Amino acid sequence: MELHLYSRQLFGNIPPPPSLNFTSLVLDLSDNSFVSKIPDWLVNISTLQHIGISNNGLYGKIPLGLRDLSKLKYLNLEDNYNLTASCSQLFTRGWEMIQVLNLGSTKVHGSLPSSFGNLTSLTYLDLSFNAIEVVIPSSIGQLCILNMLDLSENNITGTLPEFLQGTDNCLFRKPLPNLEYSIMNNIQLHGKISYWLVQLKNLAGVSLAHNLLEGPIPISLGSLQNLMTLELEGNKLNGTLPESLGQLTKLLRLDVSSNQLTGMITEGHFSKLRPSFPPWMKSQKQVKELDFSNASIGSLPNPMPMELASSIVVDLNFNLLEGPIPTITPGFELLDLSHNRFSGAIPWNISQHMHYVGFLSLSHNQLHGEIPLSLVEMSLVTVINLSNNNLTGRILQALQIAFFWMY
């Protein structure tokens, strides 16, 4: 039997379900307005497999009997801000089949016991926005199939464990072999980024923002080839940004702001951008000079991101860009798209988006058709290079520019 009463504007106490001979049960009462304790009858239904009562007004203690429901695979009590539980009691035993456990934004408190590593069926764990304290137990490494771990916004004041306990049941006996997302923001972690973290080869997202981490960013982070999000902002990290991060071809978001990093961003940091324009560039608000020349990029967003409108210099020469010339956002002063594979005609209204361009190079492409008359409207341009294309027509005598290359 499945009972789904999700977001039905229910309120008051949670009533008992009908008296039926349950063989299994899904109970979903999430996103209502129940204001009550978790009822005693709930822990007496031994066949419960799925309990969802998130985003209500539940209060009181989380019943310890929930841990003894031998068939329970899913428990979501998130966003019940007055539910309480002690970690040392809640996780001492039980939870034999639990796969998804979400107690985020409740009042779970205390330290995680070493027995937490016995919850070996867990794939998703969210204990964020609670009052968990002391340290993260090394036994957490025994959670072989854990996919997502969120411990952010707690009172953990220690360091990341220097090592994690593996187990014979884990692939190659390595800890957390299936972990893809690790979120530990704002929990006052200090010390260095632990070696074991960069050994988790399936990681797609790492967030250790707003802690007290120090030391260099490990070069070995560049070996996490599945990494899409890396958030290290708001720490005390020092040294230089390792060029190995340029090997992260799937990276969508990188934030290392508000640290003590020094040095320069070099071409090596972006050596593996291909084959496409990096998506994380779309969110950058203050780019003044963008040089992705000779980076083997094969595609651009069209139109170009409006967030790059404040850029002064955009240099994308010697890439593998193809297709029509993309719609250009206004604001550029130098635009170099030469030595690519652009084809088709130069847009007839190209000047509408190039009020401030002083240098324009479209040379060494596969453009054809006539030179658009609108080029004469580019009043600030001093250099135009259209050479080594298949363009036709007469050179526009009205252009008052210093240099015009056609061949």
pLDDT of residue 199: 83
Q: What is the pLDDT of residues 42-92, one digit of tens each?
A: 898 888 999 999 999 999 999 999 999 999 999 999 999 999 999 999 999
Evaluate the omega torsion of the peptide bond into residue 63 and state whether it is cis, within 30 degrees of 0: no
Among residues 349, 234, 356, 366, the alpha carbon closest in space to that of 303 is found at 349
Cα Rg, the chain, nearest whole Å: 29
User: In the chain, what is the greatest distance between 2 CA atoms, to the nearest angstrom?
Assistant: 90
Whether 5 shows a pLDDT value over 70: the answer reads: no
**Run of H or E residues at 88:** helix 87-90
* C-alpha 96 chain-centroid distance: 31
Q: 């508000």: which residue's tokens?
A: 258
At 338, phi and psi to the nearest 5?
A: -70, 165
Identity of the residue numbered 343: S
- pLDDT for position 296: 79
Q: What is the pLDDT of residue 1?
A: 53
**Which pLDDT band holds residue 340 (cuts at 50, 70, 90)?**
very high
Which pLDDT belongs to residue 58?
94
Residue 335: phi and psi, rounded to 5, are -135, 115
pTM: 0.68
pLDDT value, residue 283: 55
Measured between alpha carbons, how far is 389 from 370 in angstroms, rounded to an integer?
Answer: 11
* Helices (H) then strands (E): counts for the chain: 1, 32
> Which of the pair, 16 or 43, is modelled with greater confidence?
43
Q: Which fold has domain 273-407?
A: 3.80.10
Confidence of residue 285 (pLDDT cuts 50, 70, 90): low
Tell me what the mean pLDDT of segment 206-231 comes to. 93
404's tokens: 């015009």
- pLDDT at residue 267 tops 50: yes
Q: Which residues contact 308 (CB under 8 A, 6 or more apart)?
A: 281, 284, 287, 290, 314, 329, 331
Q: pLDDT: is 403 or 197 the higher one? A: 197
pLDDT in tens, 360-391: 999 999 999 998 888 888 888 888 899 999 99
Strand segments, DSSP code E, in 1-158 are 2-4, 11-12, 25-28, 33-34, 48-52, 59-61, 74-76, 82-86, 100-102, 107-110, 124-126, 131-134, 148-150, 155-156
Strand partners, 360: 335, 384
Per-residue pLDDT, 7: 47
- Residue 252 phi/psi, 5-degree rounding, is -105, -30
10 pLDDT above the threshold of 60: no
Answer yes or no: is pLDDT of 405 > 80: no
Residue ranges per structural domain of the chain:
273-407
Q: What is the pLDDT, as a whole number, of residue 361?
A: 94
Contact 252, 229 (CB under 8 A): yes
Higher pLDDT, 289 or 242: 242
For CA atoms 303, 308, 309, 315, the dihedral sign is negative
Q: Angle at Cα 27 formed by Cα 21 and Cα 30, nearest 5°?
A: 160
Is a pLDDT exceeding 70 seen at residue 306?
no
Q: Residue 253 has what pLDDT? A: 86
404 pLDDT exceeds 70? no
Going across the sheet that includes 366-370, the strands are 322-323, 341-344, 366-370, 390-392
| Range of lowest pLDDT (138-147, 252-261, 394-403) | 394-403
350 SS3 class: helix
pLDDT tens figures, 132-167: 986 788 888 889 999 999 999 998 877 777 667 666
Residue of higher predicted confidence among 174 and 228: 228
Q: What is the mean pLDDT of residues 117-141?
A: 91
